[in-house]
């Protein structure tokens, strides 16, 4: 009962056209080792498949084989930041290379929906599940039955699932060293977030970022002006920069918690008539799109979401061991740091 005018060709059609059995066709098209079919038969079968435009029905294959060549990606938030787009881009391209496709679901920020999403993916018999997090947090992941592997991308789980995280400690060190190497000694830092640092549920990486920063400053014998902040956004950056310019007029550089904070730093300096770079150097973390829009361009350590997405696919598909992987954060050098040595 074809619902279409033209029914799609099946294995049986190829078998009939080539004058072989379905078994032979299947073996030839999958070129199964150990099956001894004549070169002539193989040629006829391939020609018939080509002529009909035969493509195997994945539903039938996965019914028979129990594998779907499909991965599931569950995101806690498909947001407006670079996060989801680049992670999806990375994992799509890796999945494509392995001839897999990707199913996507979103929990809309409600962690209790992770269980539902996993369930839906398992129902659909995916071969592996990636859980992507906007902020690198620790989450609870319900037990997944049926031996489906799970990777947390940009986060960790309370039950020790495999994970892919950015190497924030190294990045913190690198950015701080960038400033001290350029000769800066009186440096403002906006700013640590004590609440986040103390709770892995809030972040498993911010603490490391600041650990690296502190280590590099200690190394260089620099004692920065550190301010704690409750959150990272342009308003916080703006207000704290104004205050810092008042309280420490001698600073030559500001290290911002992320690009959003740095945006506020730029705004505050413009308002005070200070020039970024020429008067005060600025550096930051994340490399959001707007970092490249700034004048002068903002030097920042990039969160490598695309590489992380790719790595998670490679873990699920066996190219990398299923473990805890740290991905380096490249330093994107633009024009916001002045060398004053």
Partner DNA sequence: GGTGAGAGCTAAATTGATTCAGCACGCCGA
Partner DNA sequence: TCGGCGTGCTGAATCAATTTAGCTCTCACC
Closer of 53 and 273 to DNA (Cβ)? 53
Distances (CA, A) of 78 to 109, 119, 229: 9, 19, 26
Closer of 218 and 271 to its own copies (Cβ)? 271
**How far is CA 277 from its chain centroid?**
31
Q: CB–CB of 205/153 below 8 Å?
A: no
At 101, phi and psi to the nearest 5? Answer: -115, 170
Q: Rounded distance, CA 7 to CA 79, Å? A: 41
Closer of 2 and 34 to its own copies (Cβ)? 2
Report if residue 146 touches DNA, rule: CB under 7 A. no
- Look at residue 252 and give the partner it binds from DNA, its own copies, none, a contact being a CB closer than 5 to 8 Å depending on partner kind: none
**Contact letters for DNA, residues 57-96 (x by CB under 7 A):** x--xx-xxx-------------------------------
Report if residue 23 touches DNA, rule: CB under 7 A. yes
H helices of the chain, in order, are 11-18, 22-29, 39-52, 58-65, 82-97, 113-123, 168-181, 194-198, 206-219, 234-247, 259-272, 289-293, 305-316
Distances (CA, A) of 297 to 148, 176, 259, 283, 291: 44, 18, 11, 10, 6
Report if residue 47 touches DNA, rule: CB under 7 A. no
3, 5, 6, 12: which one binds DNA (CB under 7 A)? 12
Report if residue 56 touches DNA, rule: CB under 7 A. yes
16, 26, 115, 134: which one binds DNA (CB under 7 A)? 26
What residues line the site for its own copies (CB under 8 A)?
A: 3-6, 8, 55-60, 62-63, 66, 68, 70, 78-82, 84-86, 88-89, 92-93, 96, 101-106, 108, 120, 122-125, 145-147, 234, 238, 260, 263, 267, 270, 288-290, 293, 295
Secondary structure element (H or E) that encloses residue 340, with its range: none
Count of residues making up the chain: 341
Q: Considering the complex, what minimum distance in angstroms separates the CB of residue 4 from DNA?
A: 10
Closer of 286 and 325 to its own copies (Cβ)? 286
Binding site for DNA (CB under 7 A): 1, 7-8, 10-12, 19-24, 26-27, 29-30, 32, 35-38, 40-41, 54-57, 60-61, 63-65
């Amino acid at each position: 009962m074809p619902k279409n005018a033209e029914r799609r060709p099946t294995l049986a059609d190829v078998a009939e056209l080539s004058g072989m059995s379905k078994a032979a066709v299947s073996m030839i098209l999958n070129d199964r080792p150990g099956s001894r079919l004549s070169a002539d038969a193989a040629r006829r079968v391939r020609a018939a498949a080509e002529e009909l435009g035969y493509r195997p029905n994945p539903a039938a294959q996965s019914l028979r084989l129990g594998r779907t060549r499909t991965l599931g990606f569950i995101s806690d938030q498909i947001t407006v930041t670079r996060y989801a787009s680049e992670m999806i881009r990375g994992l799509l391209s890796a999945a494509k290379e392995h001839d897999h496709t990707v199913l996507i679901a979103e929990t809309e920020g409600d962690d209790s929906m992770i269980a539902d999403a996993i369930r839906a993916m398992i129902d659909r018999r995916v071969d592996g599940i990636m859980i992507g997090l906007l902020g690198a947090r620790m989450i609870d992941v319900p037990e997944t039955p049926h031996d489906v592997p799970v990777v947390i991308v940009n986060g960790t789980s309370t039950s020790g699932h495999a994970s892919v995280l950015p190497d924030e400690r190294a990045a913190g060190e690198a950015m701080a060293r960038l400033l001290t190497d350029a000769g800066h000694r009186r440096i403002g830092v906006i700013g640590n977030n004590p609440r986040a640092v103390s709770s892995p549920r809030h972040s498993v990486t911010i603490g490391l970022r600041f650990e690296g920063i502190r280590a590099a400053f200690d190394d260089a014998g620099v004692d920065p002006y550190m301010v704690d902040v409750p959150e990272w956004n342009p308003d916080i950056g703006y207000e704290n920069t104004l205050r810092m310019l008042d309280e420490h007029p001698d600073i030559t550089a500001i290290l911002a918690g992320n690009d959003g904070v740095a945006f506020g730093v730029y705004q505050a300096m413009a308002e005070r008539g200070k020039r970024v770079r020429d008067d005060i150097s600025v550096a930051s973390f994340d490399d959001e799109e707007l970092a490249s829009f700034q004048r002068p361009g903002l030097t920042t350590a990039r969160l490598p979401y695309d590489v992380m997405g790719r790595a998670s696919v490679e873990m699920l598909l066996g190219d990398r061991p299923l473990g805890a992987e740290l991905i380096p954060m490249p330093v994107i050098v633009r024009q916001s740091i002045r060398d004053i040595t």
